[in-house]
Amino acid sequence: MPPSCGSESYTALAQSMHMTSEKNAVKSMEPNRLRIFLVFFSGIGVAVIGILASQYLRGLSTEFTGHELRRVFSPLPSESFLNIYEEDTLNRALKTLEIQTPNPTKKASVSEALTSLHLALEMKLSGKQKKAVKLFQHAVTLAPKHPDVLNHYGEFLEYMQKDIIKADEFYVRALTYQPTHEGALVNRQRTARVVEELDQMMLRRIDEKRDALSAIPENDIALIRVKKEAYFQHIYHTVGIEGNTMNLAQTRAIVETRTAVAGKSIDEHNEILGLDAAMKYINATLVNRVGSISIKDIIEIHRRVLGHVDPLESGHFRRTQVYVGGHIPPGPSDIHVLMEEFASWLNSESAIRMHPVRYAALAHYKLVHIHPFSDGNGRTSRLLMNMILMQAGYPPVIIHKQHRHKYYENLQIANAGDIRPFVRFIAECTEQTLDLFLWATSEFSRQVPALSQDSLLPEDNHNTIILDHEGSGDFEND
């Protein structure tokens, strides 16, 4: 073969190999370029995410200095977050805040309370009881949850003032805040049985007076008169506890004549008319009815209590959270369930078998603790209590407006865990009301203070009727 032909063939082969090499190089560069682009855009993405995350974290931060941007403070959360807190959640939050936040004022109060307690014990040993009482009371006011203060004051009440019931209450309060308190445990073991027997004696005495009142014929003129007067007293004091400023004569005139009183608000008139309507409803439909107490009965009572004051809210459970002094009632979403449980308890065998005074007092407390309505809870609870008492043969109990501080104080003690003082308070009011009826229907009625007076029983002279075996009444000042 001629050399020229071999040279051309070699050249063609070389060119073919070169082109193949270039194609392979191009193919090998394509994945590298793809990797470069992926790395580049990934870097941009990471940078963007980093910037956004940084701004978000800065927005959450609450510690800024200089002129850095601050998150706008909103006075209220959005509507989707309103009214979602349940009682336990809110209480836990408040307790956590109280624990985490140092309170030098509280520490100073406890320190001052302990100093006052030490001085009170010195006054006690030296026989200066009046000074000791004031120092003990001052210590309790400054540190109402300190177990040592409560226990020592209980011992003073028991041994120096012979008030074993009140002393037992302070021992229980001390154990509420420190269940392992040695002194309070020993004292409580000693007083528990004695106090329970004293409570039973009071209830037996109340039953005797109820039986004596039940023996009076319904057509007795004196009984008819005292029922009418006590009815006005009940309305006057019940609305008065809530702040109504009408006096007894004005209350009676509104109920009897529906005449307006000059200078008084429309709401005050309507509160009286609402309670009158609720009392008449109970007397006409519920007192003589045999059967269970339903939620509908409670709602119907409330519908009349608040019907003149706030027709839109009357007879309806509240739809918002409310706050009652130091007590935070359950949230509105829990009311229906709690009321169902309350109705089940009201009609349970264990509740019905209680002494009527205890049963009525507990029903009052449980309902007012749930606080199911936006307004009128206290009046509705007292009416429910009186309905239970009237079904058991007792007259409707009058809680004097002058005793409202003691009334609310005992409710607060019940919230802290001891319901007995509130039950005793209702028992005392029941006995006082029975005394009123027995006085007014006895031959001694002319010696009794007039029913038209604001206070049925003088504050400083508690007259108690002592019944003999034949049911006649003798008067004793205790």
> What is the tens place of the pLDDT at every residue in 391-440?
999 999 999 999 999 999 999 999 999 999 999 999 999 999 999 999 99
Distance CA 62, CA 196 (A): 56
- pLDDT of amino acid 142: 95
Name the more confident of 426 and 62.
426
> What pLDDT is attached to residue 51?
57
359 is an annotated ligand-binding site residue: no
H or E element in which residue 368 lies: helix 356-370
pLDDT value at residue 442: 86
Sign of CA dihedral 348, 353, 355, 356: positive
> How far is Cα 233 from Cα 252, in angstroms, rounded to an integer?
9
Please list the residue range(s) of the chain that carry CATH number 1.10.3290.10.
Answer: 216-477
Q: How confident is the model at residue 45 (pLDDT cuts 50, 70, 90)?
A: low
- Percent with pLDDT over 70 in the chain: 71
Q: Flag whether pLDDT at 124 surpasses 60.
A: yes
Q: To 10 degrees, the CA torsion angle through 172, 173, 179, 184?
A: -60
Take residue 23 and report the two structure tokens written for it. 């194609």
The pLDDT of residue 96 is above 80: no
Instruction: Give the mean model confidence (pLDDT) for residues 65-85.
Output: 34
327 assigned ligand-binding residue: yes
Task: Report residue 314 as tokens.
Answer: 């009357």
Report d(CA 412, CA 98) in Å as an integer.
Answer: 20
In 109-149, DSSP assigns E strands to: none
> CA–CA separation, 281 vs 459, rounded Å?
33
Query: Does pLDDT of 359 surpass 70?
Result: yes
Separation of alpha carbons 362 and 384, rounded Å: 11
Contact between 269 and 261 under an 8 Å Cβ cutoff? The reply is yes
Report whether 446 belongs to an annotated binding site. no
What pLDDT digit, counting tens, does each position of 462-476 carry? 455 555 544 445 444
Are the beta carbons of 154 and 171 closer than 8 angstroms? yes
Establish whether 408 is an annotated binding residue.
Answer: yes
Split at pLDDT 50, 70, 90, the class of 65 is: very low
* Candidate from 1-5, 77-81, 428-432 with smallest mean pLDDT: 77-81
197-211, 285-299, 448-462: which is most confident:
197-211
Helices 356-370 & 404-415 angle (0-180, nearest 10): 80
pLDDT over 90 percentage in the chain: 66
CA 29 distance to own-chain centroid: 79
The reply, when asked if residue 45 is annotated as ligand binding, is no
Tokens representing 59?
């927005």
Q: What is the pLDDT of residue 373?
A: 97
337 annotated as ligand-binding:
no
* pLDDT, tens digit, 9 for 90 and up, residues 163-209: 999 999 999 999 999 999 999 999 999 999 999 999 999 999 999 99
Closest CA to 223 of 396, 436, 388, 385: 436
Segment 140-167 shows an average pLDDT of 96
CATH class of the domain defined by 216-477: mainly alpha
Q: Taking each helix axis from N to C terminus, what angle separates 147-159 and 129-142, rounded to the nearest 10 degrees?
A: 150
Annotated ligand binding at 382? The verdict is yes
CATH superfamily of 105-196: Tetratricopeptide repeat domain (1.25.40.10)
Comparing 21 with 136, which gets the higher pLDDT? Answer: 136
How far, CA to CA in Å, does 244 sit from each of 114, 240, 250?
A: 40, 5, 11
Q: Are 318 and 333 in contact (CB under 8 A)?
A: no
Q: Which of 92, 93, 156 is nearest to 120 (CA)?
A: 156
Q: Is the pLDDT of residue 2 over 60?
A: no
Most confident region among 12-21, 63-72, 296-305, 460-469 by mean pLDDT: 296-305
Tokens read off for 88: 């336990």
**332 pLDDT band (50/70/90 cuts)?**
very high
- Mean pLDDT over 232-252 rounds to 96
Range(s) of the chain covered by CATH 1.25.40.10: 105-196
Which of 5-14, 127-136, 462-471 has the highest average model confidence (pLDDT)? Answer: 127-136
Largest CA distance in the chain: 163
**244 labelled binding-site residue:** no
Average pLDDT of the chain?
A: 81
pLDDT at residue 466 in the model: 54
Highest mean pLDDT among 44-53, 162-171, 289-298: 162-171
By three-state DSSP, how is residue 463 classified? Answer: strand
Q: How far apart are CA 156 and CA 134, in angstroms?
A: 12
CA distances from 453 to 162, 233, 237, 477 (A): 33, 9, 12, 20
Q: Determine the 3-state secondary structure of 467 from DSSP.
A: strand
**pLDDT at residue 217 is higher than 60:** yes
Per the model's pLDDT, the better-predicted residue between 324 and 43 turns out to be: 324
Q: Considering just the CA atoms, what is the radius of gyration of the chain in Å?
A: 38
- What pLDDT does 55 receive? 52
**92 appears as a binding residue in the annotation:** no
Give which of 282, 337, 330, 338 is closest to 305, Cα–Cα: 282
More confident residue, 202 or 8: 202
Terminal CA-CA length for the chain: 151
What are the residue numbers of the active site? 371
- Confirm or deny that 258 is annotated as ligand binding: no
Q: Give me the pLDDT at residue 30, please.
A: 54
Residue 278: what pLDDT?
Answer: 96
Looking up tokens 């009186």 gives 386
Position 325 confidence tier, pLDDT thresholds 50, 70, 90: confident
How far is Cα 462 from Cα 412, in angstroms, rounded to an integer? 25
Average pLDDT over residues 46-53: 58
Q: For residue 449, give the DSSP letter.
A: P
Residue 107: pLDDT band by 50, 70, 90 thresholds?
Answer: confident
3-class state of residue 475 by DSSP: strand
Instruction: Say yes or no to pLDDT of 125 above 90.
Output: yes
What CA–CA distance (Å, rounded) separates 184 from 150? Answer: 9
**Regarding predicted confidence, which is higher, 144 or 463?**
144
Identify whether the C-beta of residue 327 lies closer than 8 Å to the C-beta of residue 91: no
Q: Is 50 exceeded by the pLDDT of residue 100?
A: no
